[in-house]
């Protein structure tokens, strides 16, 4: 649990920061919002477990611990297996192959559903565990940072994302989601009170924003939009938001200073305190929308 108390008296709040595509400034927004809400006991959860980078913005962080994220995997006792093939036939994920003398389990494909053990007539399958990655926790001042790091070559992001979210406990939780609208993004957004979509005012930005909004509508997650690098591109995103009646909650203008700070791994609100106030006001707007 984050050690800095929430003195504001505000209710707990879970905001996910997502974007239909990479490179829109999602992490810039997530880190800026988290730093601006640190005095409310904020925790930032980096759910982009294939490429976690939030923690890199906090070079002076103090480690709080780490743990393995384990998932179930079948273990076949070859001494009693009759190689009947039922387990392989019933694996919906094609994670098993039964050869005349050997049962192969393709661990990266296995979803740990347990169906193979249920159908085995010899009770030859028991449950083992394997690690898909690690969850790290650290603190930087009043802010807690939680992130997951998927093992190289591992495909199962969802269990690790769940572990990151489980570890991120605080009065205010900011979830930095993976880009796109894949199951990793869906799992990251799931259970949050509000999703802030970060976009840019370009044709690509509009196309991916539309996909992300459709996904959130299906999930019934309240949403709003932040346009990053405003002032470049065209007005189509703004027209679209107006037509769809989606709230435009904030704009960050295209700025060489912000881009340079970001490229040096510096959270720009630390150098431009007026933006901290704007991000705190953004959180208040979000709370109003949720209410
Ligand atoms: S179902 Fe059981 S007995 Fe049949 S091949 Fe699989 S592990 Fe062996
Ligand atoms: S646990 Fe499920 S996914 Fe894994 S090998 Fe068995 S049936 Fe297939």
Q: pLDDT tens digits, the chain, 291 residues: what are they?
A: 545 655 555 668 999 999 987 788 999 999 999 999 999 889 999 999 999 999 999 999 999 999 999 999 999 999 999 999 999 999 999 999 999 999 999 998 999 999 999 999 999 999 999 999 999 999 999 999 999 999 998 888 999 999 999 999 999 999 999 988 889 999 999 999 999 999 988 887 788 899 999 999 999 999 999 999 888 878 888 999 999 999 999 999 999 999 999 999 999 999 999 999 999 999 999 999 998
pLDDT of residue 9: 58
∠ CA 80-86-92 to the nearest 5 degrees?
130
pLDDT at position 265: 92
Position 4 scores a pLDDT of 64
- CA 177, CA 180: separation in Å to the nearest integer? 9
Q: What is the CA radius of gyration of the chain?
A: 22
pTM for the predicted model, two decimal places: 0.89
The distance between the two most distant Cα atoms of the chain, rounded to a whole number of Å, is: 70
pLDDT at res. 221? 95
The pLDDT value given to residue 154: 87
pLDDT of residue 174: 97
pLDDT for res 8: 56
Please tell me the distance from the alpha carbon of residue 117 to that of residue 193, in angstroms, as a whole number: 38
Say yes or no: CB of residue 114 within 6 Å of ligand 2: yes
Strand positions, DSSP E, the chain:
13-18, 42-46, 62-76, 96-98, 103-105, 125-140, 143-150, 172-176, 194-200, 223-230, 248-253
Please state whether 115 falls in left (phi above 0), alpha (psi between -120 and 50) or beta: alpha
185 CB under 6 A from ligand 2?
no
Domains identified in the chain and CATH numbers: 13-66+133-290 (3.40.50.300), 78-123 (3.30.70.20)
Where helices occur in 82-202 by DSSP H, the ranges are 86-89, 115-119, 157-167, 183-189
Q: Are 201 and 234 in contact (CB under 8 A)?
A: yes
Between the CA of 52 and the centroid of ligand 2 the distance, in Å, is: 28
Q: Is 98 in the pocket of ligand 2 (CB under 6 A)?
A: no
CB-based contacts of 274, cutoff 8 Å, min separation 6? none
pLDDT of residue 245: 92
Tell whether ligand 2 has an atom less than 6 A from the beta carbon of residue 95: yes
Q: Which atom of ligand 1 is nearest to the CA of 77?
A: 7
Residue nearest to atom 2 of ligand 2 (CA): 113
CB 6 within 8 A of CB 172: yes
CA distance 89 to 223: 43
- The CA-based dihedral angle spanning residues 183, 20, 245, 176, taken in that order and rounded to the nearest 10 degrees: 70
pLDDT on residue 44: 98
Give the alpha-carbon dihedral of 285, 287, 289, 291, to 10 degrees: -140
C-alpha to C-alpha distance for 196 and 87, rounded to whole angstroms: 43
């Amino acid at each position: 649990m984050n050690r800095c108390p929430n003195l504001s008296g505000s209710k707990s709040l879970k905001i996910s920061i997502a974007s239909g595509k990479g490179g829109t400034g999602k992490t810039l927004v997530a880190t800026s919002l988290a730093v601006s809400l640190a005095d409310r006991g904020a925790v930032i959860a980096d759910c982009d477990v294939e490429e976690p980078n939030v923690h890199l913005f906090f070079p002076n962080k103090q480690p709080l611990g780490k743990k393995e994220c384990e998932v179930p995997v079948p273990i076949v006792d070859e001494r009693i297996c009759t190689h009947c093939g039922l387990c392989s036939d019933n694996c919906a994920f094609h994670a098993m192959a039964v050869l005349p003398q050997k049962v192969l389990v393709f661990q990266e494909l296995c979803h740990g559903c347990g169906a193979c053990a249920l159908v085995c007539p010899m009770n030859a399958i028991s449950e083992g565990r394997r690690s898909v990655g690690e969850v790290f926790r650290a603190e930087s001042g009043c802010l807690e940072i939680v992130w997951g790091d998927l093992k190289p070559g591992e495909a199962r992001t969802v269990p690790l994302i769940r572990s990151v979210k489980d570890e991120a406990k605080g009065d205010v939780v900011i979830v930095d989601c993976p880009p796109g609208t894949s199951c990793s993004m869906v799992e990251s957004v799931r259970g949050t009170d509000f999703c802030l979509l970060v976009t840019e005012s370009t044709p690509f930005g509009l196309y991916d924003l539309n996909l992300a909004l459709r996904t959130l509508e299906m999930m019934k997650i309240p949403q709003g939009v932040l346009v990053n690098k405003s002032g470049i591109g065209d007005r189509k995103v703004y027209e679209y938001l107006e037509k769809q009646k989606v709230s435009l909650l904030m704009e960050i203008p295209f700025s060489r200073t912000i881009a340079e700070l970001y490229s040096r791994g510096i959270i720009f609100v630390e150098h431009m305190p007026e933006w901290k106030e704007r991000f705190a006001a953004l959180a208040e707007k979000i709370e109003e929308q949720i209410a």
